[in-house]
Amino acid sequence: GIQVEQSPPDLILQEGANSTLRCNFSDSVNNLQWFHQNPWGQLINLFYIPSGTKQNGRLSATTVATERYSLLYISSSQTTDSGVYFCAALNSGGSNYKLTFGKGTLLTVNP
Amino acid sequence: NAGVTQTPKFQVLKTGQSMTLQCAQDMNHEYMSWYRQDPGMGLRLIHYSVGAGITDQGEVPNGYNVSRSTTEDFPLRLLSAAPSQTSVYFCASIPRSGRAEAFFGQGTRLTVV
């Protein structure tokens, strides 16, 4: 099945800094999502982005499907951005509906 | 529109007990799945279903049973709980095309003592 790798595994920022999180995937995809898991354990959908670029406030994401990677940008970080960010991909083709997750990036934003 | 609803949110079981984690979605999604989340492991797929009456195993299926009698519901059963099943469980649903956003429930935190 598809492999999903995220980097870096941990990231510590000062409030106001910018950051880029990366997600590499091993095969073509028709579903690529970014999630934020907050300190209460909830998985929050950030972006559905199998290709192209999207922006939502201080967050944006870009997926280059031909090169099999996706980037999540966080600008002017805030302490509420802390938590784990997951990338998940669903492989194209057939009846394979397995959404595979990376191991996540643990982001800590200090005041 | 409630999305994906999981119950219970928290549960403590004794080793050997059985229980069912409930998952229901109201978006008419064909594809539903169960994941478990353990520290440092991300989310791993337990079982999934591509429609009523059809289920299949994921990455870590041992110790769990599922069935899908309706499009809306996808319960996960632990027949004889073990401490290794202590984890956070998430249910998800996706439209059949796969080319759309997956939605997740709020999770069930299970402790087996």
What is the pLDDT, as a whole number, of residue A91? 77
The answer to whether the Cβ–Cβ distance between A45 and B101 falls below 8 Å is yes
User: Which strands form B19-25's sheet, in the order they lie side by side?
Assistant: B4-7, B19-25, B76-78, B64-66
Interface test with A, best of B4, B9, B37 (most A CBs within 10 A): B37
Does position A10 have pLDDT exceeding 60, yes or no? yes
CB pairs below 8 Å between A and B: how many? 63
Question: Half-sphere exposure of B89 toward its Cβ, with a 13 Å CA cutoff?
Answer: 31
CB-based contacts of A23, cutoff 8 Å, min separation 6: A4, A5, A6, A32, A34, A69, A70, A71, A72, A87, A89, A102
Mean pLDDT, range A84-89, rounded to an integer: 95
Does position A96 have pLDDT exceeding 70, yes or no? no
What is the pLDDT, as a whole number, of residue B41? 79
Does position A99 have pLDDT exceeding 90, yes or no? no
The minimal CB distance from A43 to the residues B50, B90, B97 is found for B90
pLDDT per residue, tens digit, chain B (113 aa), is 679 999 999 999 999 999 999 999 999 999 999 999 998 778 999 999 989 999 999 999 999 999 999 999 999 999 999 999 999 999 999 887 767 789 999 999 999 99
Mean pLDDT, range A72-87, rounded to an integer: 96
Mean pLDDT, range A88-106, rounded to an integer: 81
- Find chain B residues with C-beta within 8 A of A95's C-beta: 50
- Name the average pLDDT for chain A: 92
What is the pLDDT, as a whole number, of residue B95? 84
The minimal CB distance from B102 to the residues A33, A41, A102 is found for A33
CB-based contacts of B62, cutoff 8 Å, min separation 6: none
What is the pLDDT, as a whole number, of residue B74? 98
